């Protein structure tokens, strides 16, 4: 029986050429799997037909936008996931979803191998292979671009020789990956880290320097999950799409950073994540209102580690699963409303209210009606500062 390879298929040059390349190198049949995570572009049927035309014995396409929004973006939101305190895990979130579909397709089609089009320089090779090791450890992994010398010029020549239906005449100067949660841009002139990004780089966001009226909205959350905008109940997918549009029109979510890749090199990345940045800003502020101080302090540590695990390709790891349980518990009372103003590239919280608020006006006010007993503070301060006072006295005695 002929072996089968399941290929993570994007519809672009490299993965289209990889269909024939893998068949020639291994003698195996190729099943192409394309997953729509909200990246836009060509419709799934066009991509499916291209895979067949390039030699795939079967092509599986799936609209996974709702799944991506609910099962991947929302957990990242509840974890306030920002790698290096800035990057909202755009590409890192879509990879475990794709891996899940690859593993399912491999089982369904009795495949013995899975292939991806990643290079040896990036994080995605790790994300694909670590995910597959967790979900389908018996599968072999092929990486033609990384391991078989399938350079771009060789891929173009292969496509021409085989008459593959691939248009390679229009090449973007950038490497772009995008989905529902945001857009990542690298390479080209951006590799010189002194060069500033130009407007041509951006697609999800408008120039924040252009004068325009501010946009105000109210987000409703239940247990850390956004459920409505301006009182209108929406699905997670609809909320992210709406905020991508409205925050994007205000230039919210532009990020230009030098990032520490998992493989040990630094990389200059430009991101656009209008919906993600707006949602995280609102969620963090609602946590400030509803989460007790010590829990909030510890959660910030958990959030950082959660983001690092996902960035590093360990979505399916035991530690990440355990942290999910903590984050679920910490979000139990994160319910209420947050008012956001989107303007000039920023998402600014201007109001917050919650039935679970720990904010007590009568304790916080400095006006008449204050219920805080200030006479208790002196003893508290004395006891709180005692260890430092004792240590300082010792240091003085010892010179």
Domain around 114: 4-162
Does 156 fall in a domain? yes
Q: Which residues are annotated as a binding site for ATP?
A: 8-16, 117
CATH number at residue 239: 3.90.1260.10
Residue-level pLDDT at 41: 78
Residue-level pLDDT at 169: 54
Q: Which residues does 15 contact at the CB level (< 8 Å), separation at least 6?
A: 7, 8, 9, 32, 117
Contact 235, 227 (CB under 8 A): no
Mapped onto helix, strand or coil, the DSSP state of residue 386 is: helix
Q: How far is CA 199 from the centre of its chain?
A: 23
Residue-level pLDDT at 167: 66
- Catalytic pick among 63, 175, 212, 328: 175
pLDDT in 10s for each residue of the chain, 399 residues: 689 999 999 888 888 888 988 888 889 999 999 999 999 877 889 999 999 999 999 999 999 999 999 999 999 999 999 999 999 999 999 999 999 999 999 999 999 999 998 888 889 999 999 999 999 999 999 998 888 777 777 777 877 777 777 765 556 678 889 999 999 998 889 999 999 999 999 999 999 999 999 999 999 999 999 999 999 999 999 999 999 999 999 999 999 999 999 999 999 999 999 999 999 999 999 999 999 999 999 999 999 999 999 999 999 999 999 999 999 999 999 999 999 999 999 999 999 999 999 999 888 888 888 898 899 999 999 999 999 999 999 999 998
Q: Give the C-alpha separation, 30 to 51, whole Å.
A: 9
Do 187 and 271 have their domain in common? yes
CATH number at residue 149: 3.40.50.620
Do 273 and 199 have their domain in common? yes
- The side-by-side arrangement of strands in the sheet containing 29-36 is 58-63, 29-36, 4-8, 113-115, 140-142
Do 180 and 110 have their domain in common? no
Do 118 and 35 have their domain in common? yes
Q: Which residues are annotated as a binding site for L-aspartate?
A: 119, 123-124
Q: Which residues are annotated as a binding site?
A: 8-16, 87, 117, 119, 123-124, 127, 175, 259, 271
Residue-level pLDDT at 17: 87
Q: Which residues does 151 contact at the CB level (< 8 Å), separation at least 6?
A: 145
Model pTM? 0.94
Does 326 fall in a domain? no
Residue-level pLDDT at 170: 52
Strand boundaries in the chain, DSSP class E: 4-8, 29-36, 58-63, 113-115, 140-142, 175-179, 182-186, 215-222, 225-229, 232-233, 254-260, 266-272, 336-343, 346-353
Domain count, the chain: 3
Do 78 and 193 have their domain in common? no
Does 237 fall in a domain? yes
User: Annotated catalytic, 124?
Assistant: yes
Do 276 and 200 have their domain in common? yes
User: Annotated catalytic, 360?
Assistant: no
């Amino acid at each position: 029986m002929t072996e089968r390879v399941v290929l993570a298929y994007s519809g672009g040059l490299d993965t289209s050429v990889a269909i024939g390349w893998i068949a020639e190198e291994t003698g195996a049949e190729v099943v192409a799997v394309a997953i729509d995570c909200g990246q836009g572009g060509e419709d799934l049927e066009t991509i499916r037909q291209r895979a067949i035309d390039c030699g795939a014995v079967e092509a599986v396409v799936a609209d996974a936008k709702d799944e991506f929004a609910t099962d991947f973006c929302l957990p990242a939101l509840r974890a306030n996931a920002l790698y290096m305190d800035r990057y909202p895990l755009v590409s890192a979130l879509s990879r475990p979803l794709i891996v899940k579909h690859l593993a399912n397709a491999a089982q369904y089609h009795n495949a013995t191998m899975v292939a991806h089009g990643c290079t040896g320089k990036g994080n995605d090779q790790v994300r694909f292979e670590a995910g597959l090791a967790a979900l389908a450890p018996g599968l072999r992994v092929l990486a033609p671009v990384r391991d078989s010398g399938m350079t771009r010029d060789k891929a173009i020549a292969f496509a021409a020789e085989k008459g593959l239906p691939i248009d390679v005449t229009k090449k973007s100067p950038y490497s772009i990956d995008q989905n529902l949660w945001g857009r990542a841009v690298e390479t080209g002139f951006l590799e010189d880290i002194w060069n500033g990004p130009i407007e041509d780089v951006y697609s999800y966001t408008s120039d924040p320097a252009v004068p325009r009226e501010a946009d105000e909205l109210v987000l409703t959350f239940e247990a850390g999950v956004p459920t409505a905008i301006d009182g209108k109940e929406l699905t997670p997918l609809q909320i992210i799409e709406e905020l991508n549009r409205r925050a994007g029109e205000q230039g919210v979510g532009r990020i230009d950073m030098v990032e520490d890749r998992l493989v040990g090199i630094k990389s200059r990345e430009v991101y656009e994540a209008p919906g993600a940045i707006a949602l995280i800003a609102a969620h963090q502020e609602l946590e400030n209102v509803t989460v007790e101080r010590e829990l909030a302090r510890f959660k910030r540590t958990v959030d950082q580690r959660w983001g690092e695990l996902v960035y590093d390709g360990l979505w399916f790891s035991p530690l990440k699963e355990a942290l999910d349980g903590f984050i679920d518990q910490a979000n139990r009372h994160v319910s209420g409303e947050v008012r956001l103003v989107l303007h000039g590239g920023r998402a600014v919280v201007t109001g917050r209210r919650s039935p679970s608020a720990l904010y007590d006006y009568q304790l916080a006010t400095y006006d008449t009606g204050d219920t805080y007993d200030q006479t208790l503070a002196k003893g508290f301060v004395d006891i709180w500062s005692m260890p430092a006072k004792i240590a300082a006295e010792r240091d003085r005695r010892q010179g």
